[in-house]
Each structure stands twice: as C-alpha cells, then as structure tokens.
C-alpha cells in the first residue's frame, strides 16, 4: 500500500526566494524507516532533508533526523533552523508570544532553538550549539592549497589550519583575500591525500574581506565526502567558525561577540548567518547560530 508523505520546502539563512540553503522538511516521519529516509534524501538531492518525530523525552518538543544525500548527520545548522521555522509556521509549536524556545532532540542531544515572531509569523530562529572542541591542526599549506586549486600564498599562514567542532567537525582554512575565496575550486581527488585521514573531509574557507558591509567574514564550505560539492549556507560550521574567530582574536569579544558570515555568493545563493559567541575569560560559554527563512512551497511524495 502506497503512503503519501507531506513535505515543506524552505530556503534557510535568507529573506528571499532562491537565496540561502534549500531544505525539505517532513513534519510527520512516524513509521518511516531510516533506509527510506536516506533514499528520500538522495531523491531530493538537497544538502539536507529532515524528518520530524515525537520526542523520546516528554520534556522536549520534537525529535529531528537529518540526512544528506549520502548519510545521516548528528546535527546540522540550516536543517535545525529551517525545521524550527516550519514547525512554527505549521502551528506545531507555541505561537502565543513574541518569541518562544523549543527543544529538538538530535543526534548530539537536546538542541534549544529560540524563535522570534513578527505579526504572528516566525521571522527568525536561533539554535544553541554544543560548546566547541579544538584540534588537530595541519601544517602543509601547499597540500591544502592544492586540494582547493589555490597557491600556498593564497592561504593566511599566520593563522592555524585547525579542526573545530560544535557537534560536527570542520577544517578551517583562513585565506588572505576575497579574490582567493572566489578562485577556490575543490579537488576531490586530492582531499584524502591532503587531509591525511586525521581530519574531517569537510573544509571551511573564510576571509575577512567581505562583499557586504554588514558582514564579518566571507565563507565557503566544501564537503565532497558528504555528496556536497559546495554548500551555500552551513549553520553547523558557523558556530565553530565563530569560536575560531574569537579564540584567535579576529573579532572583539570581552563577554560576547556578534558575527555575520556571508556564504553561498559564488553559487548565486547569498546567505547571511548570524553567530553569537559568549565567553567568560578564555572559556567559551555559549554558541548560537541563527537566521531568517523563506517559505518556498509544499507537496507530497508517494512511497
């Protein structure tokens, strides 16, 4: 017997159509096997597709499973923000105040999400991410540059090539210029050799030269190992990015810092990700990532 599954399509980290990172959200994932969820994510071929389930802990609001075209993720930023927006839009969370906070169960554990409303509709969502872990670093600038189709002089070797994770690890590669960021092209055939199997195959590039005056950094993310040649907006990498910038003194942060990462511009999908980092002395105490969403439509698939 065929089953119809209802989905919503949203663009995340943007306020307009065809910007940000597209996402498909299935608000009723009850009874759908993990293998089927993975097959649906591959069919949609978006960076991620999410499935909403009842929470395992009654103190939480919903459980969310997140799939790329090739595997399930324990946590991801734009799926968390976009799924929360859809839940609010569909009246599946409280909407009786100017803002509300919900808790989603993901692979990394409970994830709080704060949702702001304007004229009764969701206008902004901000997730809390796990506190960062730092480590290992790479030193071979020539190999890293080669896998990005760049020269070693395009990399800013005054800063470390460092892995940072707030649930999902990424390798952060600082670049000297906006021109270098625009010229970067991933060489999937060189990734394994350059990364040496000791760091994740998800590589995040950034430069402090920006296109938009309200931005702090200009970013790109390559993840060929996840089936994503390039991602237009990576919330899961933006929290660790903020932590990297704070740790290495690239943004001012006495007790808190507000950062805007512009991403997806080279793909024609401009995205603006808002990052908040809080710290006490040298210790980071909170990591928050948020943005706007634009509803694109809805439909059904039959399985």
Domain ranges of the chain: 4-129+292-302, 133-287
Tell me what pLDDT residue 201 has.
77
Q: Which residues of the chain have pLDDT under 50?
A: none
- β-strand partners of 256: 278
Measured CA to CA in angstroms, residue 244 lies from 127, 132, 183 at distances of 18, 9, 23
Give me the pLDDT at residue 198, please.
66
Token pair in block for residue 41: 């994510």
Residue 127 confidence (pLDDT):
97
Active site residues: 48
Residue 135 Cα to chain centre, angstroms: 20
Report the CATH superfamily, name and number, of domain 4-129+292-302: Diaminopimelate Epimerase; Chain A, domain 1 (3.10.310.10)
Q: 255 is written with which tokens? A: 């007790």
- Dist. CA 75–CA 223, nearest whole Å: 15
Rounded CA-CA distance 280/31 in Å is 44
Q: Does domain 133-287 have CATH number 3.10.310.10?
A: yes
Predicted local confidence at residue 79, as pLDDT: 96
């Amino acid at each position: 017997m065929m089953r119809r599954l209802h989905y919503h399509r949203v663009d995340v980290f943007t306020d307009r159509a065809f910007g940000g990172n597209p996402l498909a959200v299935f608000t009723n994932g009850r009874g759908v096997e993990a293998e089927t969820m993975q097959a649906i994510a591959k069919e949609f071929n978006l960076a991620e597709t999410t499935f909403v389930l009842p929470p395992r802990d009654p103190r939480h609001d919903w459980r969310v499973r997140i799939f790329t075209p090739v595997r399930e993720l324990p946590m991801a930023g734009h799926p968390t923000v976009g799924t929360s927006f859809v839940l609010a839009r569909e009246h599946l969370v409280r909407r009786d105040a100017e803002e509300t906070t919900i808790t989603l169960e993901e692979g990394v554990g409970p994830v709080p999400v704060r949702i702001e409303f304007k004229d009764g509709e969701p206008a902004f969502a901000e997730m809390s991410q796990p506190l960062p872990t730092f480590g290992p670093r790479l030193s071979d600038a020539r190999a890293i540059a080669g896998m990005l189709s760049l020269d070693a002089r395009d990399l800013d070797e005054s800063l470390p090539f460092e892995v940072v994770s707030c649930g999902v690890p990424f390798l952060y590669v600082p670049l000297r210029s906006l021109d270098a960021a625009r010229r970067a092209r991933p060489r999937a055939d060189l990734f394994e050799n350059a990364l040496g199997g000791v760091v994740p195959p998800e590589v995040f590039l950034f430069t402090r030269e920006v296109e938009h005056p309200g931005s702090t950094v200009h970013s790109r993310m390559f993840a060929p190992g996840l089936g994503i040649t390039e991602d237009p907006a990576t919330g899961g990498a933006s929290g660790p990015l903020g932590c990297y910038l704070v740790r290495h003194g690239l943004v001012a942060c006495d007790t808190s810092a507000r950062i805007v990462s512009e991403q997806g511009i080279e793909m024609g999908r401009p995205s603006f990700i808002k990052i908040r980092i809080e710290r006490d002395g040298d210790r980071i105490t909170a990591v928050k990532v948020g943005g706007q969403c634009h509803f694109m439509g809805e439909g059904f698939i039959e399985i």
